[in-house]
Structure 1
Amino acid sequence: MKYTNATLILPDELVEELQKYIQAGYLYVPAKGERRKSWGELSGYRKELDQRNAAILSEYRRGISAEALADRYCLSIYAIRKIIYQK
C-alpha cells in the first residue's frame, strides 16, 4: 500500500478538517467498487500462490505424499490437504 502525505494532494481546508478527527496517523481511503483490486492482485502474490498450489497439486497427483509436500513447502499437512482438495 502506498502512503501519500495529505498536504501534498488535498486542499488546506480539507486537511484541517481531517485533523479534527485524526492527527499523525494513517487513514485508509478505499477505492470505489469498480476500481477495486482483489487481494494480491497488485503485488502479484495471488498469482505466485496459484502457481505454488498448482505445483503442489501436480506433485501430489504424481504420488508425492502430503507429508513430504508439507516439508518441502514449509506448510502444515492441513494446508496441503486444503490445497489438494479444493481443486
Structure 2
Amino acid sequence: MKYTNAKKILPEKLIMEIQQYVQGETIYIPKQEKEFHHWGSLSGGRQWLDHRNAAIKEAFKNNHNSIEQLAKDYFLSVETIKRIVYSGNK
C-alpha cells in the first residue's frame, strides 16, 4: 500500500470536507468491491492451494497416508495438515 498526499490528487473543497472528520492522520480508502480480487485469484495461487489441499484430503480419506506422513510429503507442519484434513470446506 502506498501513501499519497491528498493535496496532489483531491480537490481543495473535498480536502476541507474530509478535514471536518480527520486531520493530520493517515486514513485508508479501500477499493470499490468491484475492483477487489481475492488473494491468489489473479496469479492462480489460490487454485493451486485448493488443488493441493484436495489431494491431501483425498489421500487422508482413503487411508493412503497418516497425518505425519502427509506432513513430510508436502513439507507442511502436522498442525497444518490437521487443519486441512479436518476442515469442512471444499
Pairwise same-fold verdict (TM > 0.5): yes
Instruction: Detail structure 1 runs of 4+ shifted over 4 Å in the superposition.
Output: none
Paired residue total: 68
Aligned to 1:78: 79
- Deviation for aligned residue 1:31: 3.2
1:57-76 to 2 correspondence within 5 Å? 57-63=57-63, 64-76=65-77
- Partners in 2 of 1:41 and 1:83 — Cα distance? 20
Aligned positions of 1:36-51 closer than 5 A: 36-51=36-51
User: What is the RMSD computed on CA atoms of the aligned residues?
Assistant: 2.6
Note the residue ranges of structure 2 that are not aligned, 5 or more in a row: 1-6, 10-28
Distance in 2, matches of 1:38 and 1:31, equals 12
- 2:39 alignment partner, SS class: coil
Distance of 1:77 and 1:86 partners within structure 2: 14
TM-score (norm 2): 0.63
Aligned to 1:32: 32
Deviation of 1:32 (Å):
1.7
Look up the equivalent residue of 2:61 and give its one-letter code: R
Max Rg structure: 2
Equivalent residue letter for 2:75 = C
Q: Identity across aligned pairs (percent)?
A: 39
Q: Give the gaps of 5 or more residues in structure 1.
A: 1-12, 16-28
